[in-house]
Chains A and B, each alone.
Chain A
């Protein structure tokens, strides 16, 4: 009961009139339709543009039996590491499972009621690893409570120059949680073009970038083509992970 985060909407049938646009986050677009209980899928939208992404780091928790990427993979060979996430079927549950599938290892996902609970268990050493944001991972790793294992990006990031990516270790896996604008499928092409330009201008506005950065967002603009590729890729990866978990269409 009384979940800290409110449930995302599951019904969505807007008119493609060019005035109705939607804020599209990764969860509702790329994950939720696979779990079922929604009346839309990712094929029902036209992509406008990504405005921000939050990067993800897999961290080892306090007293975990591994401290870097190699020892993590080695440990996973003998025993399934317990990876905490902020909710079953949520973004960092799916990302951990998708990585495990890509890397050919087994993991045991331990769901918590929200990110804060998972972090508490991680700092207390009750789980082996979890997925965290870079800012958080940095603060807690300075305190010796978490150790970054790998970054879920194509390339290393400035905050953690010494932490590898999965890609450079030969595992084709990237994941980040994005926020974007989408429009209903079937919108007029010139209206779509106008919207794409508008988002491009807005997302690169200095004041906007400053304000969002202050609020802890990683502002990055991606055009429609890049966005579509990313969203479709995430949706496919999520579909496979959810299918492997036996959760496909469980809420239909």
Chain B
């Protein structure tokens, strides 16, 4: 939203300066989302919802500085990685974006949804939460036929539940309820705030998480319309899956933060690839960026590389600089951010409520969003209480609509021919990954048993 608000300021600037300012806000905004996620369990953007999983527990352990430091490093690594890819391979990689038709998007979304199975402790309850999320996401105008579903004649629901208010309610407001409950029962823990730097051991541990997060984020960023929310969840899941100690995830484990933050910032720079190379914006923010470019009289597209190379080089440079500035400022401000946690808990909780309301309201200026937020807050609190995964619901809210509209669009285009629908190689790849991902717990168990038995044999 910040990007759209500041477009008028760029009218008087040179193209490169104006666009770089917008890019800076975009990158900074995605990074900034992690601060409230970690400290307050309030994801400012869908992109940082996954950061809540490990960031908040770490801050609760008194290591807010470490969590923020890890997130800053992760964001920087992801951003720089994608910026390098942007500067070197943009035109070649942009072609990938064009390969994605409806069946490919559907398969990608389905693969993303399988994260639910591995993220939730109780698979049954996780699945129910996820399907509930898909159903809730159906509220509003149907993407294919335009017919209104479950709106009960309330005009504010015509476009469905607004996304960010739902997330704020689900994670932040539900936490306020939990705090109130703990307060009532006198379970108040005082916290200390440790230094700002993650230790070398943490960094070593997070090395592969950073790499994986960056690659996944860059890839997802290139595919238009998927966004950083998708990328950070997939990255989190993949890093956890490949980790030797998956049980540490969710308890405040540094690689968990590194994975999500490197992925969502990689998306920012990578989303510029299809925008600049093809004139295709990958998400709402890059669409606004494209508007900004066009106001400057520049139409992004394959021709821009020939007609305005200076602008292209300027944007490459700007992306690097924005990422580096983000690192410097982020690191410098960590002690200040961490102070927030020294505010007495009940005062903080009430303040969070005010920010939840303002944040939910300011996005669309729609009062209906406030009820959405409160409703999801109560729902989230209840779900947490009875062992239903809020993360599963959140993933389903992000990916459900993408899965549905592309499934139906694809079936419409192929006239219900399932073989034609699943004929593309990318579709098949993701469908295969989906099956593997669902079967992974069993495979992992068998592998573990085999290695255990072979070890026994070796010992014997």
User: Which residues from chain A sit less than 8 Å from chain B, CB to CB?
Assistant: 1-7, 9-11, 35, 37, 82, 87-90, 108, 110-113, 116-117, 119-121, 123-127, 135-136, 139-140, 142-143, 145, 214-216, 247, 250-251
Which segment of B116-124, B182-190, B273-281, B321-329 sits at the interface? B273-281
Contact with A along B273-316 (1 / 0, CB 8 A): 01000111100100100000011000101110000000000000
Q: Which one, A10, A87, A123, A136, contacts B278 given CB within 8 A?
A: A123
| CB-CB under 8 A for A124 and B101, given A1-B140, A3-B141, A116-B281 | yes
Q: Which chain A residues border B139 with CB–CB below 8 Å?
A: 1
B376-404 contacts to A (CB < 8 Å)? 397, 400-401
A126 to B141, CA, bound (A): 24
Q: Which chain A residues border B284 with CB–CB below 8 Å?
A: 4
How far in angstroms is the closest Cβ of chain A from B403?
Answer: 12
Q: Which one, B98, B158, B366, contacts A123 given CB within 8 A?
A: B98
- Asked if B144 is at the interface (CB within 8 A of a chain A CB), the reply is yes
Q: How many residue pairs, one in A and one in B, have C-beta atoms under 8 Å apart?
A: 126
A82 to B412, CA, bound (A): 10
Chain B interface residue bracket vs A: 35 or more
Q: Report whether B224 and A120 are in contact in the complex, using a CB–CB cutoff of 8 Å.
A: yes
- Asked if B77 is at the interface (CB within 8 A of a chain A CB), the reply is no
- Asked if B160 is at the interface (CB within 8 A of a chain A CB), the reply is yes
Residue in A7, A88, A119, A136 with the greatest tally of chain B CB atoms within 10 Å? A7
How far in angstroms is the closest Cβ of chain B from A103?
Answer: 22
Q: Which chain A residues border B159 with CB–CB below 8 Å?
A: 2-3, 5-7
How far in angstroms is the closest Cβ of chain A from B129?
Answer: 16
A214 to B155, CA, bound (A): 34
Nearest 5 CB-CB pairs, A to B? A88-B146, A2-B163, A124-B98, A89-B146, A126-B101
Q: Report whether B143 and A124 are in contact in the complex, using a CB–CB cutoff of 8 Å.
A: no
| CB-CB under 8 A for A87 and B146, given A4-B287, A123-B278 | yes
Q: Report whether A120 and B225 are in contact in the complex, using a CB–CB cutoff of 8 Å.
A: yes
Contact with A along B233-275 (1 / 0, CB 8 A): 0000000000000000000000000000000000000000010
- Asked if B142 is at the interface (CB within 8 A of a chain A CB), the reply is yes
- Asked if B88 is at the interface (CB within 8 A of a chain A CB), the reply is no
A15 to B418, CA, bound (A): 54
A-B contact pairs, 10 of them (CB 8 A): A37-B148, A37-B155, A82-B413, A90-B146, A108-B413, A110-B412, A111-B144, A123-B278, A139-B299, A251-B147
Q: Which chain B residues border A6 with CB–CB below 8 Å?
A: 159, 364, 366
Q: Which chain B residues border A120 with CB–CB below 8 Å?
A: 97-98, 100, 224-225, 274, 280
Q: Which one, B142, B158, B162, B224, contacts A2 given CB within 8 A?
A: B162
Residue in A4, A111, A120, A121 with the greatest tally of chain B CB atoms within 10 Å? A120
- Asked if B137 is at the interface (CB within 8 A of a chain A CB), the reply is yes
A82 to B413, CA, bound (A): 8
Q: Which one, A87, A108, A124, A251, contacts B148 given CB within 8 A?
A: A251
Contact with A along B72-99 (1 / 0, CB 8 A): 0000000000000000000000000111
Q: Which chain A residues border B137 with CB–CB below 8 Å?
A: 1
Q: Can you add 6 more A-B contacts, CB < 8 Å, to A4-B287, A110-B413, A113-B225?
A: A1-B166, A2-B163, A37-B158, A113-B143, A124-B101, A214-B295
Q: Which one, A10, A88, A124, A215, contacts B100 given CB within 8 A?
A: A124
